[in-house]
Amino acid sequence: MNNDEIYDVLRQKVEHVAERKMQTPRDFDYLSTRILDKTKAYLAPVTLKRFWGYLGEERQKKPFRNTLNVLAVYAGYTDIEVFENCMKDNCSIESDFLPNRNLNTASLYKGTVIELKWHPDRCVVIRYEGFDMFRVIEAANSKLQVGDTFQCYNFVDRQPLYLRCLVHSNEEPSGYVCGKENGIQYRILDK
């Protein structure tokens, strides 16, 4: 990969972590704040605009190594050198902070109803029964069925959802994963 290709991938990775495409001045202000929050390093919005080519090619400069390091760290890598090596070796990050919404079952009240959706058209509505246990009360296009029960401790938006002790059709309890590739989206319907 040449530098331009590596920079393009870095831009994509940063946008993925930020959960936002860099298209307007507000997007760059937002990204600058998010980078500062996560890395404790400040990159000015104008620096980010230059790197994204938002100011036009005549204003685009070769980025400083420090800028690239901060962006690589924000994307989940140790520094730009590790990122570049990963791009050349086609490796991926094995661990990272979760930037997404997170719902812990300890914050739920018995009877809370949650809607879960995942690709391509799965939709399941569950009710919290207490003690980290849930019951399926509605199911569409899913292997999960009304009446199934399972344990779950944490819901993370856009991440796979792992169910424990799933009791399905009176079978032995087993594990199950929802949204294995693209993750789930959750929404609290009732408290």
Q: What is the pLDDT of residue 98?
A: 59
CB atoms under 10 Å from CB of 4, counted, come to: 8
Other CB atoms within 10 Å distance of the CB of residue 185: 18
Contact 54, 42 (CB under 8 A): no
Question: What are the residue boundaries of the structural domains of the chain, listed by start?
Answer: 3-89, 102-190
Cα–Cα dist 176/189, whole Å = 23
> Tell me, what's the pLDDT at 93?
56
Name 76's Cβ contacts closer than 8 Å, sequence gap at least 6: 13, 17, 93, 96, 97
Structure tokens at 135: 């019951």
pLDDT at 60: 61
| pLDDT on residue 2 | 81
Instruction: Encode pLDDT of 48-81 as tens digits.
Output: 999 998 887 655 668 899 999 999 999 888 889 8
Q: Which residues of the chain have pLDDT under 50?
A: none
Q: Are strands 122-130 and 149-151 parallel, antiparallel or unpaired?
A: unpaired
Strand order in the sheet with 149-151: 174-178, 161-167, 149-151, 133-140, 122-130, 113-118, 184-190
- Given the DSSP bridges, would you call strands 122-130 and 133-140 parallel, antiparallel or unpaired? antiparallel
Q: What is the pLDDT of residue 96?
A: 59
